[in-house]
Structure 1
Amino acid sequence: MKNSALRGTGTILSAALASLALMLAGCALDSPAPSPPPGSSAAPGSSEPTLSASSTPAAAVHFTAQADIGVRKESRQVLDTIADLRPQFNLALGDFSYRAGIEDRFCDMVKEKLGSDFPYELLTGNHESDRSDGDIAKFVQCLPNRLPGIQGDYGTQWYVDVPQQDPLVRFVMVSPGIDFQNEQHLDFSSGSERWNWTANAIDGARTANIPWTVVGMHAPCLSVGQYDCKVGQDFASMLLAKKVDLVLTGHDHIYQRTHQLGTGPACPALVPDAVVPGCITDPDATMVKGAGTVFTTVGVGGESFYDVNDNDPEAGYFATWSGGNKNPAFGTLDVTVTADKLSARFVPAKDYTFTDAFTIAR
């Protein structure tokens, strides 16, 4: 059993440049929004944000994602890898500085590598949610949201449609299963306000005819690493039942990707610590949209490695994995989405060789 352990001429010129940036990046669909999450406020830094220049075609969304980052040589190597890939934005899925009091140092490292205005979008991990190794509120101040149209509480529970006009993807970022202050968890139990907010955000994407839905959260449910299903079986099963296309996590300092999984007559719910063959809807790397969900953990942003267990009771759900004792590699997931295809690949940082790639097509 495993351990339980995000002014004149000058004013006119600035406005023109901002408008041009928004046109290039794509601008949020005025679809019905779920109610704000409990305790939420206006997202800091969300006023008139723009996306950085990218080589991505206008009809595509290009982003990177990883977690468990740190302030190390390896952390900088991963940031260099992201810079070389030139995504439109990056999803940082929690666990940033691994030390309290150096939030500004972490933010300066990111800005130095990616640019001061690059959309480095945050979702809290356990190390800053409970303020033991940093404070998510301070990270949010020095790395504010830069994606237009964000809804919710940036850093903890938010969603955004990209591009803002005629969106291709809705990103729903939530924080189940991790400790906040005083060892309290946010309530994502079935029927709770946060559960309903998440479900409504996912359903809203379908109602608005947004082709793809990606959910990000720090903790995984399935893993061949150290952790059990911290987000809860019911929550993970809900993501499957709603046919979320891709779920991105960190927390376990490994890379791992499941087969495409889905609920149905042969799989009423996702079962951790065991494998139900009927939950596997597609076992190869070329998948069909709507058949299920792919869970990908990218906890290799630079901090350290955990070992993987080839004999883990959940191993049968996974297509591939990498950890400290097997093909270790720091790096990032690199994802490009068009109206018809989601293409993802793991890109290792300098000096590492492990790779992975998969597609989901309409």
Structure 2
Amino acid sequence: TEHVVQVSGLVPDTLYYYAVGTTNASLAGDAPDYFFATSPRPGTAVPTRIWVLGDSGTRSAAQYAVRDAYYNFTGSRATDLWLMLGDNAYNSGTDAEFQGAVFNAYPATLRNSVLWPTLGNHDTAGSTTHVPTRPYFQMFTLPTNAEAGGVPSGTEQYYSFDFGNIHFICLDSMTASRATDGPMANWLVNDLAATLSDWIIAYWHHPPYTKGGHNSDTATDSIQMRQNILPILEAGGVDLVLSGHSHVYERSYLLNGHYGPSSSLTSGNIVNGGNGRLPAPYQKPAGNVAHQGAVYTVAGSSGQTGGGSLNHPAMYLSLNVLGSLVVDVLTNQMTVTFLDSTSVTRDTFTIAKPSSVSSAPAAPPQIAAKAVDTKRIDLSWSDGAGDGKGFEIERSSDGKTFALLASVAADVTAFTDTIPQANRRYYYRVRAFNRGGSSAYSNIANAKTRRH
């Protein structure tokens, strides 16, 4: 039985410890490793570590070796979020296979880091028909209405979300239409147009470029994603594209505009033919400028290897080696590391952009609270310097422990709280935020609601 619990009143970029249980007994938690951190406010640049697994769900010694290698590599550095690139549970994506390949394999990471998966062919037993009752959709609760940022997709097949200054786009190359005028493509156009994030990472199962166990020159799913979806992504300024399916590691140069077979690649499609390693990273302009290049990575060897000719001309490096990806984003720099199953770094590259992050705004100098009736308190404040993107209002019943009450736009300096109970005192504070972070808090104001 799957359960979903919605928790409200949380503050961005904050660590919370938790326990799960019934009214009579605790089932799990109440321990140091049962915690989660809320996402940073969209647009805020924070150091971010992302773990990426492709085709991991084999329930084998190879899968566990890749897992343990990453745990050894990251050590005490928390995993902010992680991605699965499909084929998450071999061979058919049954409930029991998901239990073994995901929940039993990664319990430590699942306790305290959000997993964002995409759908692979082995998660549907090879079917290209969308079935909302598949175990995959029962295992995961994925955003359909932009609950985590982006534009509503209306389906768990494909979705987007924000984490700090990174916009993630998860596509379905297995059961969704790959047509240029299909629902997924139309949604993608709108989603890319709406994002203001500094970085865009897109991922799905079938790679647009591969000469591993599969051949992107002949596989229909790869061809259609390359011809129909890549032009949309590159017009939207995508930086990094991740796929699995081929059980190898392949990493491209900085590419743009290559939508045909491998034989059609020209020097004009290679924006930067270097290795992208520091001190000579792949350079891109700030923001999401169209057609400035992206790196395409096949990372499908997190559970097994598969060989292949490994000679796609778009690739800087191709390896038939077990491993996973580690993506580290620090303000204006994204570094991707391919880590093998013995914790050895086999490849690394960096994409760099000029920083577009401003400094944090000034604090609102004053907030006032006035009780209007038994269940209404009016708040007002002044803008410290006019350099914020918005305000966060927090409330407390004791003047010590505050929780987020509301977020409002930068041109709003008043708010009405209609939640309070009669004849009770409440405390309030406010802070401004922008892409550079949050200001200090204002003073604390308080008011007591009227009696009945």
- Partner-residue secondary structure (3-state), 2:159: strand
- Partner-residue secondary structure (3-state), 1:96: coil
More strand, by proportion: 2
Structure 1: which 5+ residue stretches go unaligned? Answer: 1-13, 27-48, 181-185, 264-268
Alignment identity in percent? 19
Partner AA of 1:139 in structure 2:
Y
Partner residue, 1:31: none
Offset of 1:136 from its aligned partner?
Answer: 8.1
The structure with more radius of gyration: 2
Change (3 A) 1:280 1:71: same
TM-score for both structures, normalised by structure 1: 0.71
Q: Is the 8 A contact 2:84 2:116 kept in 1?
A: yes
Partner AA of 1:361 in structure 2:
A
Partner residue, 2:122: 127
- Partner-residue secondary structure (3-state), 1:19: coil
Cα distance between partner residues in 2 of 1:71 and 1:52: 30
Change (3 A) 1:200 1:59: same
Offset of 1:82 from its aligned partner?
Answer: 3.6
C-alpha distance after superposition, 1:175-224 (max 9, x if no partner): 12x2x4xxxxx21211222111112212221xxx3100110111111112
Change (3 A) 1:111 1:353: closer
Partner residue, 2:249: 255
Of residues 207, 210, 232, the one that matches 1:223 is 210
Cα distance between partner residues in 2 of 1:357 and 1:347: 9
Partner residue, 2:260: 271
C-alpha distance after superposition, 1:295-332 (max 9, x if no partner): 01100111x2121325x4xx221110101xxxx2x221
Cα distance between partner residues in 2 of 1:219 and 1:99: 17
Q: Does 1:156 align with 2:157?
A: yes
Cα distance between partner residues in 2 of 1:117 and 1:59: 18
Change (3 A) 1:52 1:117: farther
Partner AA of 1:237 in structure 2:
P
Partner AA of 2:163 in structure 1:
V
C-alpha distance after superposition, 1:218-258 (max 9, x if no partner): 11111121222342423223323333100000011110110
Q: Does 1:104 align with 2:104?
A: no
Partner residue, 2:83: 91
Change (3 A) 1:50 1:116: closer
Change (3 A) 1:122 1:338: same
Partner residue, 1:60: 47
Partner residue, 2:323: 331
1:209-220, aligned counterparts within 5 Å?
209-220=196-207
Name the structure, 1 or 2, with higher relative contact order (CA <8 Å, separation 6+): 1
1:226-305, aligned counterparts within 5 Å?
226-228=214-216, 229-230=222-223, 231-263=225-257, 269-274=258-263, 275-284=265-274, 285=276, 286-290=281-285, 291-302=292-303, 304-305=304-305
Partner residue, 1:357: 348
Cα distance between partner residues in 2 of 1:80 and 1:154: 34
Offset of 1:288 from its aligned partner?
Answer: 1.0
Cα distance between partner residues in 1 of 2:168 and 2:133: 19
Partner residue, 1:308: 308
More helix, by proportion: 1
Partner AA of 1:256 in structure 2:
E
TM-score for both structures, normalised by structure 2: 0.58
Partner AA of 2:268 in structure 1:
G
Offset of 1:105 from its aligned partner?
Answer: 2.1
Q: Is the 8 A contact 1:258 1:320 kept in 2?
A: yes
**CA RMSD, 1 decimal:** 3.1
Partner AA of 1:338 in structure 2:
L
Q: Is the 8 A contact 1:104 1:139 kept in 2?
A: no
Partner AA of 1:360 in structure 2:
I
